[in-house]
């Protein structure tokens, strides 16, 4: 893992060097995040911090999104009726074989339900990001001492039968007529956290996941590798900072 991070840091360093060279030649009109950080470097932030900040952004954005897409495909292949419904909706609304774009997502109600249900049953970060109490806090009768690390166990919330009917079952239909959303307003579904420190990647994820998932569902049929029956697909979880699949999904795209 350390070697992988080192390679990514080297890549980030190369990108920064490239941008610095462009700025020296007067080509510095991108106005993106990197330009903004370089504008305050080294007075408020040094280069090492910039490199590690982009490492955080890269790892957090790519790992969680790829895990979510893998879980969504695994659940759809394990539950063929949901896969069929999602593909039928795509065929009717978009047209079979076409890629979808961001504007299409609002018209794909069942696909959005599939994404919500994936976030519910397989939250990308099962304990969110650790927080620290800056002072003694009383919460629901419990005293949380100053400097305590606080974790939100959303993995347990998704198992709570008082909040969800058949919580272990993958049922996108549960969101069909529900106003529950993933944006931090409904505490039974907070895969990105809530409040002022909600995950900054939320806007990207809620656009990127349905667009990518919808496109791969609409351009191929899919089957499990090795003739595995859907009911026999291994769905064991691998715990870590992100919630991955213990056994990587092996799925075969079949041309339409």
Q: 64-255 has which CATH code?
A: 1.10.630.10
Q: Structural domain boundaries of the chain?
A: 1-45, 64-255
The pTM score is 0.83
| Per-residue model confidence as pLDDT tens for the chain (256 residues) | 556 678 878 888 888 888 888 888 877 667 788 888 888 887 778 888 888 888 777 777 777 889 999 999 999 999 999 999 999 999 999 999 999 999 999 999 999 999 999 999 999 888 988 889 999 999 889 999 999 999 999 999 999 999 999 999 999 999 999 999 999 999 999 999 999 888 888 888 899 999 999 999 999 999 999 999 999 999 999 877 788 899 999 999 999 8
41 is in an annotated binding site: no
Written as one string, the DSSP assignment of 168-230 is TS--GGGGTT----SSSSSTT--TT--GGG--TTHHHHHHHHHHHHHHHHHHEEEEEGGG--G
């Amino acid at each position: 893992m350390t070697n992988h991070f080192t390679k990514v840091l080297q890549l980030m360093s190369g990108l920064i060097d490239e941008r610095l060279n462009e700025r020296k030649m007067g080509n510095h009109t991108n106005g993106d995040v990197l330009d903004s950080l370089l504008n305050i470097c080294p007075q408020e932030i040094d280069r090492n911090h910039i490199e590690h900040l982009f490492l955080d952004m890269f790892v957090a954005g790519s790992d969680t999104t790829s895990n979510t897409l893998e879980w969504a495909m695994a659940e759809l292949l394990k539950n063929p009726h949901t896969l069929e419904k999602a593909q039928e909706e795509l065929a009717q609304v978009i047209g079979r074989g076409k890629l979808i774009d961001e504007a299409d997502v609002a018209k794909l109600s069942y696909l959005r339900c599939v994404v919500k249900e994936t976030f519910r049953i397989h939250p990308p970060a099962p304990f969110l990001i650790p927080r620290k109490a800056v002072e003694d806090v009383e919460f629901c009768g419990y005293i949380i001492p100053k400097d305590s690390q606080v974790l939100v166990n959303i993995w347990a919330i998704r198992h709570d039968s008082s909040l969800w009917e058949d919580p272990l079952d993958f049922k996108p239909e549960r969101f069909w007529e529900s106003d529950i959303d993933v944006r931090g307003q409904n505490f039974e579904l907070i895969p990105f956290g809530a409040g002022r420190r909600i995950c900054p990647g939320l806007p990207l994820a809620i656009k990127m996941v349905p667009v990518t998932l919808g496109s791969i569902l609409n351009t191929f049929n899919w089957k499990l590798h090795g003739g595995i029956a859907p009911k026999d697909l291994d769905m064991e979880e691998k715990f870590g900072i992100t919630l991955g699949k213990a056994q990587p999904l092996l799925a075969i795209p079949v041309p339409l």
